[in-house]
Amino acid sequence: MSKHFHFLISILLGIGATEALAQQSMAKGNVAELRQSLRGLKWESVDYDALSALERCRALTLLDHALTEIGAVATAEADLMSQYLEQQDLGAEFASSQTAEAAPARTYEDGQKTAAALLQGPMAESRYATMYQGSDESDLKASLRLHESGSRRKWSKSSEPVRNVRGMTAFLKSKDKYQSYLVWSKAESDRRQQQHEQTMAEKRAAAKARSELAQEERTARAKELAQQRQQEEDSRLAQQAIYAQSAATEQGDVVEDFDDYWYPSRYYGRPRNPRVQHWHRNGANQARAREHTNKRVNNWHRSGGAGRRGGGRR
């Protein structure tokens, strides 16, 4: 259950539309089980200010980590929904509609209470419930500042995509197209994931090729330098031999040889292959998703109902 903590928080915060992407990584039974685990959870009654510094630190850490995923999911889903509305020629109608989702808007303070309630209930056995054990007061204060700053920033950043998702979800449901959207978005998300993996594979291959070329160049240069050193050394030894021979003939002295040079011929630091993450967690993909969503929605509003047909694949 703890690995789906972001979904638990999204349910409690009324961001129910994020389950479109959640259903792609969880079986329907798991989604139902998560919802069932939240029944009776009285997060509204949590007195957050009365919690200890340790409890607040754990709750903020949970909220901070959850908002990272919630923001990524909401951003990706807003992009998917706006693309679907455009393909269905429903963008202008959505922009001019007064549709509003029934789920109440939540505040950042609600998010803090939600995280605290989860750690007192369904997530009491999770790793978040045992974090910072043994930390002193100064460490707790530092962690509180870090995660409160991070979670507030992520809450603010995710507000717009969450609002877009709520509105478009309500609109699709009013048009009886939400289930069709879920089917379409599953296929589209799979397509984007394949595209993302292909892009990352191409980048890794290009990086490997550059690394191998650089290694070949370094090896060639090292060989060239070694040959140059050897030629210089051979010349030096020849000169020393001539001098020694001459000196021995004239004075009977023997000239000692010099120490040989040591030249490094090994190189380290082979590039580590990056992990292939899900497309919606990739920072560049998130930036493009926000840009596409905002552009579509703004165009719908500016057109005053004209809308743009098509909206094919990106």
Q: Are 94 and 82 in contact (CB under 8 A)?
A: no
Residue 144 pLDDT exceeds 70: yes
> Band of the pLDDT at 48, cuts 50, 70, 90?
very high
What is the pLDDT at residue 167? 87
Based on its alpha-carbon atoms, the radius of gyration of the chain, rounded to whole angstroms, reads: 32
Q: What residue has token string 């409690």? A: 12
> In this model, does residue 166 exceed pLDDT 70?
yes
Q: Is residue 117 within 8 Å of residue 46, measured between CB atoms? A: yes
Mean pLDDT of 78-102: 85
Kindly tell me if the per-residue pLDDT of 151 is higher than 50: yes
State yes or no: pLDDT of 281 exceeds 80.
Answer: no
Mean pLDDT, range 31-59, rounded to an integer: 82
Q: Which of 53-67, 82-96, 97-111, 117-131 has the lowest mean pLDDT?
A: 97-111
Assess whether pLDDT exceeds 90 at residue 107. Answer: no
* Nearest-angstrom CA–CA distance, 33 and 252: 98
Average pLDDT over residues 286-310: 75
| Mean pLDDT, range 65-69, rounded to an integer | 85
What three-state secondary structure class fits 257? coil
Average pLDDT estimate for 103-123: 84
Name the range with the highest mean pLDDT among 7-21, 50-64, 112-126, 290-304. 50-64
pLDDT beyond 90 at 58: yes
Q: Which residue do the tokens 């609600």 mark?
A: 110
Can you say how many angstroms the Cα of residue 280 is from the centroid of all Cα atoms in its chain? 8
pLDDT in tens, 189-248: 889 888 888 888 898 899 989 988 888 888 888 888 888 888 877 777 777 666 655 555
* pLDDT-derived band at 22, boundaries 50, 70, 90: low
pLDDT tier at 99 (50, 70, 90 boundaries)? low
User: Over 50: is that where the pLDDT of 259 sits?
Assistant: no
**Is the pLDDT at 42 greater than 60, yes or no?**
yes
pLDDT of 55 above 90: yes
- Looking at every residue in the chain, the average pLDDT score rounds to 76
Per-range mean pLDDT, top range of 163-177, 229-243, 261-275, 279-293: 163-177
Q: Which of 213, 219, 207 is nearest to 267 (CA)?
A: 219
pLDDT band at 310 (very low <50, low <70, confident <90, very high): very low
What pLDDT, on a 0 to 100 scale, did the predictor assign at position 7? Answer: 56
Q: Binning pLDDT at 50, 70 and 90, where does residue 27 land?
A: very low
pTM of the predicted structure, to 2 decimals: 0.67
